[in-house]
């Protein structure tokens, strides 16, 4: 590692998510491992959020670009399915950032209650909200509407 430079782990962890750039790959919980081999090759292991997530190839390219621009010229990115990604892997920082962006974060996964709690509007915090579509502009989000302030909003839906 060049003196004073960021480690490969730090570089990879700071790469923004292509679809939600306010989150890093580490925030999103998709960065599984960063290892440096004897030959200096950096091996980065990522896990996809959804099987068909189109951001996957962009993530791979962005990680390679970030590492090479920090002087790590030999990089290999692999995808690993197991254990499967769930929204429990989002960092606490990620949940806070989502809310700031106007996206309702997924409910905590520690609850085993079959009851579905109403979702809080990220704009006005009202609980009078309704789902307009289970599927949104990206695989990980659904579409909602606040009945109090009238604003539509996105929800980063729970995957357990």
Partner 1 sequence: MATRSDIFDYALRLGDDALVLSHRLSEWSAHAPEFEEDVALSNLALDLLGQARSLLTYAGQVEGKGRGEDELAYWRDDRQFRNLLLVEQPNGDFAMTIVRHLLFATYQLAIYQALEDSADATFAGVAAKGAKEARYHRDHAALWTVRLGDGTEESHRRMDRALLALWPLTAEMFQVDAITLRLADDGIIPAAESVRPGWDAFVEATLREATLEVPQGVAARVGGRAGLHSEYLGHLLAEMQHLHRSHPDASW
Is 104 one of the binding residues for partner 1 (CB under 8 A)?
no
Binding segment for partner 1 (CB under 8 A), chosen from 3-11, 12-20, 83-91, 112-120, is 83-91
Q: Does 136 bind partner 1 (CB under 8 A)?
A: yes
Nearer to partner 1, 38 or 160 (CB): 160
Tokens in use for 9?
């782990």
160 binds partner 1 (CB under 8 A): yes
Q: Least CB distance from residue 56 to partner 1, whole Å?
A: 8
Q: How far is CA 49 from CA 4, 59, 88, 135, 142, in A?
A: 33, 11, 12, 15, 15
Q: Is 65 in the site for partner 1 (CB under 8 A)?
A: no
The CA R_g of the chain, rounded to the nearest whole Å, is 18
**Least spacing, CB of residue 137 vs partner 1, in Å:** 7
115 binds partner 1 (CB under 8 A): no
Instruction: Out of 33, 132, 148, 150, name the contact with partner 1 by CB under 8 A.
Output: 132
Which structure tokens are listed for 155?
């929800």
Distance separating the N- and C-terminal Cα atoms of the chain: 38
Q: Which of 37, 71, 84, 108 binds partner 1 (CB under 8 A)?
A: 84
Angle at 158 between CA 154 and CA 160, to 5 degrees: 165
Closest residue by Cα to residue 77 from 38, 47, 39, 40: 47
- The token duo for 29 is 């919980």
The correct pick among 10, 128, 135, 150 for binding partner 1 (CB under 8 A) is: 135
Check binding of 82 to partner 1 (CB under 8 A).
Answer: yes
């Amino acid at each position: 590692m060049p003196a004073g430079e960021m480690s490969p782990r730090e570089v990879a962890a700071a790469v923004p998510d292509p679809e939600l750039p306010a989150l890093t790959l580490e925030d999103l919980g998709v960065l599984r491992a960063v290892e440096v081999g004897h030959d200096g090759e950096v091996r980065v292991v990522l896990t996809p959020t959804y099987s068909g997530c189109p951001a996957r190839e962009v993530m791979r390219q962005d990680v390679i670009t970030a590492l090479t621009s920090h002087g790590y010229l030999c990089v290999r990115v692999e995808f690993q399915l197991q254990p499967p990604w769930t929204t429990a892997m989002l960092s606490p920082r990620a949940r806070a950032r989502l809310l700031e962006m106007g996206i309702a974060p997924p409910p905590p996964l520690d609850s085993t209650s079959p009851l579905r709690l109403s979702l809080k509007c990220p704009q006005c915090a009202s609980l009078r909200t309704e789902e307009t579509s289970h599927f949104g502009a990206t695989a990980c989000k659904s579409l909602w509407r606040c009945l109090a302030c009238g604003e539509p909003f996105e929800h980063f839906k729970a995957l357990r």
